Amino acid sequence: MEMIKLTIDNKIVEVEKGTTVLKAARKVGIDIPTLCYFELGDMKIENKPGGCRVCVVEIEGRKNLAPACATEAMEGMVVDTHNIRVLNARRTVVELMISDHPYDCLICSKSGNCELQTMAQKFGIREIPYQGEKSTYRVDTSPSIIRDVDKCIMCRRCEMMCNDVQTVGALSAVNRGFTAVVAPAFEMNLEKSPCTYCGQCVSVCPTGALTEVDHTRNIISALADKTKTVIVQTAPAVRAALGEEFGMEYGTLVTGKMAAALRRLGFKYVFDTDFAADLTIMEEGTELLGRLGKHLAGDKDVKLPILTSCCPGWVNFFEHNFSDMLDIPSTAKSPQQMFGAIAKTYFADKIGVNRKDMVVVSIMPCLAKKYECQRDEFKVDGNPDVDFSLSTRELAHFIKQANIDFLNLPDEDFDHPMGESTGAGVIFGNTGGVIEAACRTAYEIHTGKKLEKVEFNQLRGMDGIRSATIDFNGLPLNIGIAHGLGNARKLLEDVRDGKSNFHAIEIMACPGGCIGGGGQPYHHGDSSILKKRAAAIYQEDAGKPIRKSHENPDIIKLYEEFLGTPCGEKSHHLLHTHYFDKSNEVFIQE
Amino acid sequence: MTKVKSLADLRKMKEGLESKLNLREKSNNPESLVQIRVAMATCGIASGAKTVMEYMIDELEKRNIEAVVTQTGCMGYCYAEPTIEVTLPNQDAVVFGYVNEKKANEIIEKYIKNNELVDGIIPVNYETIKK
Amino acid sequence: MVNLKLSEDKINQIKEICKSFNNEKGELINVLHKTQTMYGYLPAEVQEVIARELNVSTAHVYGVVTFYSFFTMIPKGEFPISICMGTACYVRGAEKVLDEFKRELKIAVGETSKDGKFSLSCLRCVGACGLAPVVLVGEKVYGRVSPDGVKDIIAEYKQ
Amino acid sequence: MAKFKMHLLVCGGTGCHASLSQTIGDNLKEILVEKGLDHEVQVIMTGCFGFCEKGPIVKVMPDNTFYTEVKPADAREIIEEHIIKGRKVNRLLYQDPENKEHVSDSKHMGFYKKQIRIALRNCGFIDPENIDEYIARDGYEALGKVLTEMDAQQTIDIIKKSGLRGRGGGGFPTGLKWEITSKSQADQKYVVCNADEGDPGAFMDRSILEGDPHSVIEAMAICGYSIGGTKGLVYIRAEYPLAITRLKIAIAQAREYGLLGTDILGSGFDFDIELRYGAGAFVCGEETALIHSMEGMRGEPTFKPPFPSVSGYLGKPTNVNNVETFASIPVIINKGADWFSSIGSEKSKGTKVFALAGKINNVGLIEVPMGITLREIIYEIGGGIKDGKKFKAVQTGGPSGGCLTEHHLDTPIDYDNLIAAGSMMGSGGMIVMDEDDCMVSVAKFYLDFTVEESCGKCTPCRIGNKRLYEILETITQGKGTMEDLQKLKNLSYVIKDASLCGLGQTSPNPVLSTLDNFWDEYVEHVTVKKCRSSQCKALMQYIIEAEQCVGCTACARNCPVNAISGERKLAHYINQDICIKCGACMEKCKFNAISIK
């Protein structure tokens, strides 16, 4: 690789040709503030429209200031990152942004995590010299996401995520000049757009323009209602990230403290979605083997590959974009919904509570789950299986609100019976985890042999699209994995074109899987955080005494006492679902 | 329409087309050319000015003389119609009266080609013509 | 297909337009031009169809439509009136002419009169600076328009 | 073929077209048929003559008579008097504004005297819809020469040596641009002609495309050969229907003759041209924005480098030049680099086309050698300021440029001098302003344009220009302070320094140059709340002169807001706090007692 030398703030820096000035500066510890720039290096995600102009620097011999994020470092370049000219421009740019931004920091849900706020603090901005017209847009509330576009600074990160990474195409820059803003077509409600609620726009938004719908208050009311039995389930990825909100090291597992905190918040039963994940494996694994067997036997009506269906963002995506292939995904419900269905039947019976008096809350790393639990097919007589879904971030706020000293909580266990889980359930939180968990079970059931090594390392990693062939005792099983909907689209288009030879594909809407979900603590573009969370998940798996779903004793008991056999009649009724053609669901303005 | 196949073709084509624009080309720079004005008011036309003009245009071209032939109004010498005014480069204009094709031929051959004066010059006050 | 409030005929016409540009994404602007020439404006339904045909998101089409001032989602009046706001026209009093039109028609720029007869818009230089200030009604050009002349121009089309 | 003895050239440029020149042409033809002269006299619709102020123009060849402000009804008189009887129609001749004499030959008009027509060489001379006429004027000779006698580098060298610089505004050396593109390696390269002329008040590109479309086509093919590209795209404003039609005809004719297509002139070189339409976005004049627009996207610029010469349309090396630049190319090839560089100033060679407009007698399109002074343009070509008013400023470069004043009248005009004077060449709009123009309002006018046309991608341009506009608005409302003037300056500098593209980087120029040159006027607006040109309505005061007022009460009765008080038969008084400055009182006063202060 060709190396070049340049001078930044009198320091000589040697970098590879093609490196930007920003990265060259960071290499020698010179911090250049950025706002629109966004990078998730390991996912090959980069946003550098060069639009905010906060990162401008002076380059000798150039007439104008140059954006460090988009300027390639050149041999012999002399860069000054903080002289008066640069600082004045930077400050003025931030002042201008704030001049078209509401001053409601005190009550903004992004307060403390807002990058514009940080910038204003950093520059010590105490007054705005340029006053004038402010943008006013109506606030758009969807089941999962709130758009408060007055706070949009046109960094275009959400647009990049929605289009380039996720290929959802719900958002685009619209209008121009002062009125330019990012919005769905016809500035209609997100709910009417092809939005999948994956929440990646929210997780990259530097300000409070895109945030989640907060359900904390509904839960407080439920908890205060003496007639209600409020139970909670927590998804695998939550435990690997919640600690971040309390200043803990990235990748710290807080499973025990989380259970303790939930109990102190007043939840009657603290359960684990991992239990439902194990249940999912039982159903989905059985379905896989069934379809595989029929397919191999030459039944042309049975299609392969089978697609995982536990990610609601992904379900929304294929309902919108691949409505011609609705028979391909597994019919198994997601763990959240399986949990709800079992909680409000099996468990409710067990403790003698009417389903109407039971409130099921889920803690999810995800925003699409908020929408999923409100879908009509997951309700019985209007009563949803899962009543409310909170994001990891909302839970952290809730804990802080309740004055719970999270750091000093003791570790506690989940309740039984729906708190028992295996390592297979935990790894659902990582990309590749669901399919790995399925392989652990399917292998043993299909071959009748015991797995010597439960880790399938060939299924792990952060590449957007991965594939592996697993030897099922002579049967080579081709497995595909995609995370990020853009990658999913590529795999699915191959399937549609008949170019795919996969037997099973795991898809997660969010880059990294659930650990990078739209409801997780903000990572501000630091992809090392995602890696640490992933490592924590695998660490929890490794530490579990039982690591295969079909060995979970409470799952075995559930089938014995209640469900019968996987994919049996009762399962079919409670644990499986069907999909809708949403390609028709396009809103036309009057 | 046939395609132009080479630069040589293009140039040949151009030669053929040039004449169509000659009229405009020349009149853009009349000072350097022979200028001939034919009086074409009612009296002139009645006495055959039009024929003379056509003759001049055709003959000058045949004889490869770069000239601009224009028409003008009555020059005031109605008694001597058809009249033409010839201006050679850098010379004063000369007006000839009673011009017919024969006379025109003489004017071209003698005056225009060799700057020899011929019969029939009308002594004039040029101011009146210039207007 | 989408449930559109468009006749089958219209949808087919739009499809034909897209097809004439090989359903190429890159031809979006040409497609929009041609469609707008046909319908006079680009309502949401039409944009939906175009998005589908060119295989781009509707948000993208809308983003493009709202970027270019030539495209409109509001039907123009029977006689669209445009006032040139080029510099030459401006210094020769185009603003006053515009004000007079606003007053006479009781509409703002970008609006269409209630009877659907007139709509008012501003144009960038039409290049007839010699005639400044310039007003266009449809394709007809009125040069050296004074505020006093505004009534007469409107009257021409009032019947 | 009929041999015509006379040609009637009728201007078909947009300005004249708007004044019914087509009807004039039709009438002329009809009457010629009626008189049986249609085989002797030919009527030709041409491109713009440039003298738009006096349009429509009809030129009679060969006697070089230049008729101005012709109306369709004048056709009969022109034919019956001039063509048949040989008497010029005096009333249609141009009248010299000074000695009031009728001038029939355009060469003797001040408007044309100082002009050198290179880019406009064929405009108003040939029929733009007839390729034969273009060929007769050495058309496609340059392409032929290049294809058969020269290699790419030799061609580039001629352009480099000629010193031709981009006529679209920036003034980047054209030959160098070609060279960079030619050196970029790729399987396909593109030649793009930027015809998205968007400066309000500039229309030179349109006139060239309307008057001489083949010159652009020929030049694009030459460029393609030089850079190694076989595809050309013209990005043209949809608002230019006439130019689009003519260009389409020209492309079809060139294809028919094999001057576009495969194996052009037997050289083995292929080249063809497609049209792409702009849709009303000024920023698309910026080359990266233009390219995105051609790709069917929002016309937002991207940061350079990479330059289009390296990565442009569809990611391929793309050479973007504007219309006027291209139109100059064939002549340079034919007449040589030395000939071209002998015209103009030291660093700016050749000629520049300007659209002269505003408060000037001769509005029109002019082509002058670089290095000519403003004085020559305004007073000799432009015939001075309209209505004998006092010259105040001339704005060049449109929304990216600035205002030049009396002090600059004798500055030779070229790229570098204009930038040094705080303006820029831009595409060539030149708007003359007189004492009645308020410079704060002029700056506001341009900022209004920029705010309207900003793409919104970068903060300084999106919000900064809006704030600049608002401050200017405050000042013209009479609510400005000295501090506002300081804010204007700081904000302008930051917008210039930190904006993403050329549009933003130059958008504060109208503010900065008026602040520099008309500081007093700004100060007057904010301190004594006075607009010396009486343009700022809020700063105007209607005053009743007590001596003249007879107390008829007409004003008070007509005031819509009851701002006027006074006893009958006694002098009246206007309460300035209530007055909305509608002017109704002044209109009604029969005694001229009311004036604007």
The CATH number linked to B101 is 3.40.30.10
CA distance D563 to D554: 13
CA dist., res. D225 & res. D189, Å (int): 10
ipTM of the modeled complex: 0.87
Cα–Cα dist D385/C128, whole Å: 19
Give Cα A157 distance to the centre of its chain.
16
Say whether C5 and A588 touch across the interface (CB within 8 A): yes
Smallest CA–CA distance from D314 into chain C, residue:
C26
Q: In chain A, what percentage of residues exceed pLDDT 70?
A: 99
Q: What is the pLDDT of residue B130?
A: 34
CB contact under 8 A, C87 and D296: no
Record: contact B69-D5, CB cut-off 8 A: yes
Are A53 and D302 in contact (CB < 8 Å)? no
- Which has the higher per-residue pLDDT, B32 or C122? C122
B6 contact residues in D (CB cutoff 8 A): 144, 148, 265-266
> pLDDT digit string (tens) for A309-330?
999 999 999 999 999 999 999 9
- For chain D, the farthest-separated pair of C-alpha atoms sits apart, in whole angstroms, at 93
Q: pLDDT confidence of B53, banded at 50, 70, 90? A: confident
Tell me which chains share at least 3 CB pairs under 8 Å with chain A: C, D
Q: How far off is chain A from D468, nearest CA to CA, in Å?
A: 9
- ∠A233-A239-A242 over CA atoms, to 5°? 110
Q: Count of C–D CB contacts within 8 Å?
A: 135
Structure tokens at A290: 């069934």
Query: What are the sequence ranges of the domains in chain C?
Result: 8-67, 79-158
Token readout for A371 is: 């929408």
* D120: its two tokens: 């406009």
In the block, residue with structure tokens 């409109």: C72
* Helix, strand, coil share of chain C (percent; to 5): 50, 10, 35
Residue D7 and residue D41 in contact, taking contact as beta carbons nearer than 8 Å: yes
Report DSSP letters for D3-51, one per residue: --SEEEEEE-SHHHHHTTHHHHHHHHHHHHHHTT-TTTEEEEEES--S-
Residue predicted with more confidence, D334 or A41: D334
Residue B64 lies in a domain: yes
- What are the distances in angstroms from CA A494 to CA A298, A314, A490, C49? 22, 17, 6, 25
Q: Which of D384, D316, D574, D461 is nearest to A97 (CA)?
A: D461
What's the burial of A445, exposed, middle or buried (CB within 10 Å: 0-12/13-18/19+)?
middle
pLDDT at A473 over 80: yes
What is the average pLDDT value for chain D, to the nearest integer? 90
Distance CA D530, CA D596 (A): 11
* Nearby residues of D455 by Cβ (< 8 Å), 6 or more positions away: A176, A177, A180, C67, D281, D283, D289, D298, D299, D300, D301, D461, D503
Average pLDDT over residues A84-94: 96
DSSP string, D432-459: EEETT--HHHHHHHHHHHHHHH--S-SH
Tell me how far the alpha carbon of residue C153 is from its chain's centroid: 19
pLDDT category, D3, cuts 50, 70, 90?
A: low
Both structure tokens of D135: 């060929």
Is the pLDDT assigned to residue D402 strictly greater than 60?
yes
Taken in order of first residue, the domains within chain D and their CATH numbers are 6-108 (3.40.30.10), 131-340 (3.40.50.11540), 351-434 (3.10.20.600), 439-526 (1.20.1440.230), 541-596 (3.30.70.20)
Mutate to test the interface with C, among A156, A164, A168, A172 (most CBs of C within 10 A): A172
DSSP 8-state assignment for residue D464: I
**Would the CB atoms of D133 and B5 count as touching at under 8 Å?**
no
φ/ψ of residue D159, rounded to 5: -65, -40
Q: Is residue B1 part of a domain?
A: no
Are C97 and C86 spatial neighbours (Cβ–Cβ below 8 Å)?
no
Tell whether the model's pLDDT for residue B125 goes beyond 80. Answer: no
Q: Which domain holds residue B67?
A: 35-130
Tens of pLDDT, residue by residue over A4-14, are 999 999 999 99
Interface test with D, best of B5, B7, B40, B75 (most D CBs within 10 A): B7
Q: What is the pLDDT of residue A338?
A: 96
Q: In chain D, pLDDT over 70 holds for what percent of residues?
A: 99
Give the long-range contacts of residues C148-153, CB within 8 A, separation 24 or more: C150/C97, C150/C100, C150/C101, C150/C104, C151/C104, C153/C81
Q: Are D318 and D308 in contact (CB under 8 A)?
A: yes
Q: Read off the pLDDT of each residue in D375-388 and give the average, rounded to a whole number.
A: 89
Looking at the structure of chain B, the number of domains it has is: 1
CATH class, C8-67 region: mainly alpha
Q: Which of D86, D136, D257 sits opposite B4 (nearest CB)?
A: D257
Rounded to whole angstroms, how far apart are CA atoms D347 and D354?
Answer: 18
Give dist(CA D525, CA D532) in Å, integer: 9
pLDDT in tens, chain C (159 residues): 345 567 788 888 999 999 999 999 999 999 999 999 888 889 998 999 999 999 999 999 999 999 998 899 988 888 889 898 877 788 788 888 999 999 999 998 888 888 888 999 888 777 677 778 889 888 788 888 888 889 999 998 887
Share the mean pLDDT of chain A: 94
The third-level CATH classification (topology) of the domain covering C79-158 is: Glutaredoxin (3.40.30)
Q: What residue type is assigned to position D364 of the chain?
A: G
Could you tell me the two tokens for A313?
A: 């963002």
Closest C-alpha among A106, A390, A420, A419 to residue A265: A390
pLDDT at A574 exceeding the cut of 50: yes
pTM of the model: 0.87
The reply to whether B44 falls in a domain is yes
Q: Do the strands D231-236 and D190-195 form a parallel or antiparallel pair, or are they unpaired? A: parallel
List residues bridging with A79 in a β-sheet. A8, A59
Among A93, A100, A175, the residue with its CB nearest the CB of D460 is: A93
Q: How far is CA A436 from CA A274, A431, A543, A549, D156, in A?
A: 14, 9, 17, 11, 62
Q: Where are the alpha helices (DSSP H) in A28-114?
A: 84-99
Check if the beta carbon of residue D28 is closer than 8 Å to that of residue D45.
no
Q: Amino acid letter at D131?
A: I
CA A451 to each of CA A475, A561, D65: distance values in angstroms, whole numbers, following the listed order: 15, 27, 102
Q: How much of chain D is in helix, strand and coil states, percent to nearest 5? A: 45, 15, 40
Each residue's pLDDT tens digit, A63-79: 999 999 999 999 999 99
Cα within 13 Å of Cα(A151), Cβ side: 25
Phi-psi region of A287 (alpha: psi -120 to 50; beta: other; left: phi over 0): alpha
Q: Does the CB of A172 have a partner CB in chain C at under 8 Å?
A: yes
Residue pairs between chains A and C whose CB atoms are closer than 8 Å? 59
Give the minimum alpha-carbon distance from D369 to chain B in angstroms, rounded to a whole number: 20
pLDDT digits (tens, 9 = 90+) for D417-439: 988 888 888 888 888 999 989 99
Write out pLDDT tens, residues D176-225.
999 999 999 999 999 999 998 877 777 888 889 988 999 999 999 999 99
Mean pLDDT of D261-279: 94
CA atoms of D71 and D56, how far apart (whole Å): 7
Angle ∠(A466,A468,A472) on CA atoms, nearest 5 = 150
Tell me the chain D residues in contact with residue A53 when contact means C-beta distances shorter than 8 Å: 458-460, 498-500
Residues whose CB is less than 8 angstroms from the CB of residue A504 and which lie 6 or more positions away in sequence, other chains included:
A288, A304, A305, A306, A307, A308, A435, A438, A477, A478, A479, A480
Measured CA to CA, the distance from residue A267 to residue A253 in angstroms comes to 21
- Is-contact A424 A441, C-beta < 8 A? yes
Residues A259-278 pLDDT 10s: 999 999 999 999 999 999 99
Residue B126 has pLDDT above 70, yes or no: no
Report CB contact under 8 Å: C62, A186.
Answer: yes
Please answer yes or no on whether B30 and D140 come within 8 Å at the CB atom: no
Q: Is the Cβ–Cβ distance between D359 and D353 less than 8 Å?
A: no
CA angle (B33, B39, B42) in 5-degree steps: 155
pLDDT band at D65 (very low <50, low <70, confident <90, very high): confident
Hey, what are D433's tokens?
A: 């302003």
Structure tokens at D216: 């652009």
Q: Is the pLDDT of residue B131 over 60?
A: no
> Three-class SS of residue A462?
coil
Cβ-based contacts of B54 with chain D (< 8 Å): 5
Q: What are the percentages of helix, strand and coil residues in chain A, rounded to 5?
A: 40, 15, 40
pLDDT band at A156 (very low <50, low <70, confident <90, very high): very high
A371, amino acid identity: Y
Q: Please give the structure tokens belonging to residue C103.
A: 């007053």
User: Between β-strands C135-137 and C79-84, what pairing exists: parallel, antiparallel or unpaired?
Assistant: antiparallel
